[in-house]
Amino acid sequence: MNFDLDDEQQEIKRTAHEFLASRFTPSKVRELAESRSYDDGLWREISELGWPGIAIAEEDGGQGLGMVELAVLLEETGIACSPTPLLGSVGAALVISAAGSDEQRAEWLPKLASGEATGSFGGFADGRSTLFCDLPTADVVVTLDGEGALIAPATEMDFEPFEAIDATRSYGLVSDAAGERLPADVDTGRDRLAVAIAAELTGVAQRTMEMATDYARERQQFGRPIGAYQAVSHRIAAMLLETEESRSLTYYAAWTADAEPKSLPMAAAMAAARAADTGWEVPASALQVFGGIGFTWEHDLQFWLKRGRVAGRMLGTPRNHRERVAELSGLRSSAAVPA
């Protein structure tokens, strides 16, 4: 059995890596982060590549590929830490595709697939709003609440922009849940969204591990590269283990979404829990390899560190995801799972 990416998926990975590396250099990421903005010209290029519609069905105006292909793409956006509205758009589209009515799908999915419209997603429960990804720039908003999900044009949402520690992405907080109810399978849409976020977090971990490894090879202390010392080399080895665990769980969950849907809820919860931890712990370990300088605004590492922290909490904490694993496996009743 072959567990590697197929030729088409490898081509998506290569194209995405080359494009993002050339367009979102560290200096460009810094420029956009400091201005807290997106580059409209780069978004047009991304849209022309068909990325916003990669996992949207052909009959809805998308490319009709699968969750594995989307995971490949989003891992690369995590590696680049690219400031774009892509995650908000594909995240909203995943939920609309799974749970929207025919009318809701027809109204929004072709626009999201082409990049003509951008999307946002977030949660609202017990009178409290989570951070809504890409809300200030969005055209359509999906709100996950205790009863399912709602969809509304962004112009109908009462919200305030919010400056999170992650300056590479725009966020907002809503005052109330609003919009039409999505009538179909919200749980599947949310699980697919969790896998998408896990893929980006895996990319964040991969890039920061590479940064730490390169630094450990170059930085000399007492006449030797610091990577020659066990305290550093063991830390980097642990970073590799965490990153590969996150990647393995994420791609398995992406595969189940299309090939074995009954396994998706458990796989998505496991991937979300591991990736949320990994997206924070690996950059934090890289910070230790750099000796603390990585947290300063002048160093690029802090952009990945902060993105990993915020993205890892978009759909709940790692504990929330582990509690769901326990519930799905029968180790804990749903009544005991915190909201």
Please list the residues that pair with 220 across neighbouring strands: 225
Cα separation, 151 vs 181, in Å, equals: 6
Structure tokens at 208: 């920061």
Q: Is 231 helix (H, G, I), strand (E, B) or coil?
A: helix
> Residues with Cβ < 8 Å from 10, sequence gap 6 or more?
none
Q: What is the C-alpha to C-alpha distance for residues 257 and 241, in angstroms, rounded to an integer?
A: 25
pLDDT in tens, the chain (339 residues): 566 899 999 999 999 999 999 999 999 999 999 999 999 999 999 999 999 999 999 999 999 999 999 999 999 999 999 999 999 999 999 999 999 999 999 999 999 999 999 999 999 998 999 999 999 999 999 999 989 999 999 999 999 999 999 999 999 999 999 999 999 999 999 999 999 999 999 999 999 999 999 999 998 788 898 898 899 999 999 999 999 999 999 999 999 999 999 999 999 999 999 999 999 999 999 999 998 787 788 999 999 999 999 999 999 999 999 999 999 998 876 544 443
The DSSP secondary-structure symbol of 316 reads -
CA distance 43 to 89: 11
The H-assigned helical ranges of 115-226 are 186-218
Q: Looking at the DSSP assignment, which residues form a beta bridge with residue 162?
A: 171
Do residues 253 and 195 make contact, with C-beta atoms less than 8 angstroms apart?
A: yes
Rg of the chain, C-alpha, whole Å: 19
Name the maximum alpha-carbon separation found in the chain.
Answer: 67
d(CA 30, CA 303): 8
| Superfamily for the 187-336 domain | Butyryl-CoA Dehydrogenase, subunit A, domain 3 (1.20.140.10)
- Return the ∠ at Cα 131 (arms to 326 and 45), rounded to 5°: 110
Q: How far apart are CA 128 and CA 171, in angstroms?
A: 15
Give the side-chain half-sphere CA count within 13 A for 165: 15
Separation between Cα atoms, residue 202 and residue 254, nearest integer Å = 13
